[in-house]
Amino acid sequence: MSTLLPRPPAPRKSPSAGSMAPPRCPAGLALLLLLLGACGFFQSYAVEVDVKDASNFTCLYAQWMMKFLIKYETNSSDYKNASLDLTSTVTHNGSICGSDTQAALLAVQFGDGHSWSINFTKNNETYRAEFITFTYNTNDTAVFPDARRQGPVTIVVKDAMHPIQLNNVFVCHHTTSLEAENVTQIFWNVTMQPFVQNGTISKKESRCYADTPTAAPTVLPTVANVTTASTTISPAPTTAPKPAENPVTGNYSLKTGNKTCLLATVGLQLNISQDKPLLINIDPKTTHADGTCGNTSATLKLNDGNRTLIDFTFIVNASASVQKFYLREVNVTLLNYQNGSVILSADNNNLSKWDASLGNSYMCRKEQTLEINENLQVHTFNLWVQPFLVKENKFSIAQECSLDDDTILIPIVVGAALAGLIVIIVIAYIIGRRKSYAGYQTL
């Protein structure tokens, strides 16, 4: 039985609050879709699945909200970003209870050929999520109006969920995300318990780290101190002033198997002028690196605390006489840490920056600015990057940017010194001539 009930945009209470008892339905599966407004940013649907065994007892229970950010190639060979949300029509074919020898499976299908599933395994003491499988269908023209690749695309991601005590319900209201193969999966308001004992949802909770009192506050990423000033004479500036401190430089790398395929060292700062000026420094301590390596393209995905997502895509220019790589695209997404809603999403796929010969690295110690759109800039500091042909886990010879090139100062200094010397010689010659002339005057 499936129903759709409107609810106010508030998170569902946890089982310990006494509101988690699932509805009793006929044998099989019960699916309840709760229509929620996500704080004005987008409208999404919370899925509540109650899987029952042959005796009509609950064996797997889950309620969660999720959305997907997908980068896809268009017919014109450029890339676009699509946002895929759950629809009001969701089915639940294939969900199973699981046992000591068989994994439990939670599966849903929605929209025009899209599906998502997660499987759980257990031992004598704990259970854990193993793999998440997501299939999106690029034939869905409402989401992918000009996709070059047609048909279903499936990705499989290993879940990083820590083992949970059996008969505990896993709860995570804060936003978490997984990135793989140009897809970012975003989850929030999650309540799940596989292998339910005696058909009763547990009142014992195992919270995710982000929900614990010691976790980072649910605000935007670390924001540099920004002071704004306004007077009665002129309006406040439309761009944020520089922060007191530059961002901390982070070291990031990608591997293919045991071999490092991409290296990057950079300090990153976002300059946002939408609504009101805002500067955000990316913190390497809370930033996770992911992405893909290839022979002609590579993408570095940085995720700062599931709040700031930055993708850098590098391309090899094979048409040039000397093969070079360069930065082709930068995509930035800011998420609301509490509910996963998209605060800002910006992309520039027509860049031609950070170019160097293939096999070398690119370096620029000075500050650089990447213009993403009219509302967003990315500032880089102490940049050193090599997206291709990394050897022995080390950077190759660096080609430096013009801002770092101090060699041009040498001829300027030498020229200035010679000019000064010539002036001194000319002045000394004129003074000497006057004294000599004075010595031969007629008495």
pLDDT number for residue 52: 92
> Phi first, then psi: what are they for 238, rounded to 5°?
-90, -10
pLDDT band at 298 (very low <50, low <70, confident <90, very high): very high
The overall average pLDDT reported for the chain is 79
The DSSP output letter for 393 is T
Lowest mean pLDDT across 19-33, 168-182, 295-309 = 19-33
Answer with the residue of higher pLDDT: 76 or 9: 76
Question: What distances in angstroms separate CA 141 from CA 44, 76, 151, 185, one per listed residue?
Answer: 19, 16, 11, 20
Q: Is the pLDDT of residue 191 over 90?
A: yes
Predicted pLDDT at 1: 30
Among 2-11, 84-93, 185-194, the least confident range: 2-11
Residue 383: pLDDT band (50, 70, 90) is very high
* Portion of the chain with pLDDT greater than 90, in percent: 48
pLDDT of residue 410: 59
Average pLDDT for 85-101: 87
CA separation, residue 58 to residues 19, 47, 102, 128, 309 (Å): 16, 16, 17, 18, 37
CA 204, CA 129: separation in Å to the nearest integer? Answer: 18
Q: Which residue has the higher pLDDT, 366 or 215?
A: 366
Give me the mean pLDDT over the 379-398 stretch. Answer: 95
| Six token digits for residue 427 | 């002045």
pLDDT at 234 (0 to 100): 34
Which of 33-37, 42-46, 278-282, 408-412 has the least mean pLDDT?
33-37
Q: For residue 216, what pLDDT is reported?
A: 42
- Distance of alpha carbon 68 from alpha carbon 143, whole angstroms: 11
Coil, helix or strand at residue 276: coil
pLDDT at 76 over 80: yes
- Percent of the chain past pLDDT 70, that is, above it, reads 76
